[in-house]
Amino acid sequence: MMKFLVTTIFAVLFFNCSFAQTQNDTLVLKDIEWDQTSSASQIELNIPSDKSLLQGFMYKANGAQKHPLLLLLHGYPGNERNLDLAQVARARRWNVIYFNYRGSWGSQGNFSFENCVQDVVNVVSFCKKYSDSLQIDTSNIVLFGHSMGGWVCLKALQRLPGIKKGFALSAWNIYDDTKDVKSESEFVAKEKANGGDYFVLNTPIAEIFKPVWNNKQFYNLANDGKALAGKQIIMLDEHNGNKETAEALKAENKNYFDYEVWDTDHPFTNKRVALIKLVLSFLNK
């Protein structure tokens, strides 16, 4: 009898653990209930940024009240846009803005890494100016960046004292690319050989990467611990290349910092549901 009870209890526990694990990989979706007074929609945006216009759009959440905002920051050049995350966040009553940096994907101006950071600051200013018409609660804005966008996210947070949260997905610590080369020309050649010369970015590759070589410490996220000490940050990777950077940032952080490495690829192809659930949890933290 005792053996039967132990076996039964073990089976129940195993089932419950397996069920919980399955649930962690499951996302329940349902259609948005239509608010006839102020329905969910997509709004085209032309956002000013230092005398240029950024092409973008907002997934507006359902309802006439102001909603918190998730700001998506794409990578280099920006093929993965994480719009599955955007749709789910909008269904959870978050506004979501996606935009293309200056000089990328048809936006006006010149592309550069530093311009990308300032573009985020300018987009936030735009949201504050039009917070009533766009129904944005500017007291609750979260940055989410992928790859280069992760670097941009952590850099822009330092210029935005009113924004407390940033999620850096597989952040590209651009400085790391300079470690194994001895000259500027070798560095530029390396980036070009790695497939970094994209026609959707309007700046020659040498002009994109020369500033990195000439100001390496600015492009090293490991130096930014004190500037990010008061922020809530998640860094999530598919490799261990950012381990030292994450440790440096965590050592200075006085609020919340989490670093994880998952078994997946750069766009998190097999972990989309788990990723979305982690982001939603962070948004509601």
What pLDDT does residue 18 have?
37
The three-state secondary structure class of 184 is helix
Can you give the length of the chain in residues? Answer: 285
Average pLDDT of the residues in 57-75: 98
pLDDT tier at 187, thresholds 50, 70, 90: very high
In this prediction, residues 236-253 reach a mean pLDDT of 98
Q: How many beta carbons lie within 10 A of that of residue 70, not counting itself?
A: 27
- Mean pLDDT on 146-175: 99
Distance CA 280, CA 220 (A): 28
Omega before 267 cis (within 30°)? no
d(CA 47, CA 80): 21
User: pTM value?
Assistant: 0.91
* Mean pLDDT of the region 232-256: 98
As a whole number of angstroms, the distance between CA 122 and CA 262 comes to 33
Q: Which whole number is the average pLDDT over 183-192?
A: 96
Parse the chain into domains and list their residue ranges.
40-173+220-283
Specify the pLDDT at position 25. Answer: 84
Q: Is the pLDDT of residue 107 over 80?
A: yes
3-state secondary structure of 16: helix
Per-residue confidence at 8, pLDDT binned at 50, 70, 90? Answer: very low
Our CA angle for 261, 267, 273, nearest 5°, is: 75
Looking at residue 78, its pLDDT comes to 96
Of the chain, the percentage scoring pLDDT greater than 70 comes to 92
Average pLDDT over residues 128-156: 99
Tens of pLDDT, residues 205-235: 999 999 999 999 999 999 999 999 999 999 9
Domain 40-173+220-283 bears CATH identifier 3.40.50.1820: yes
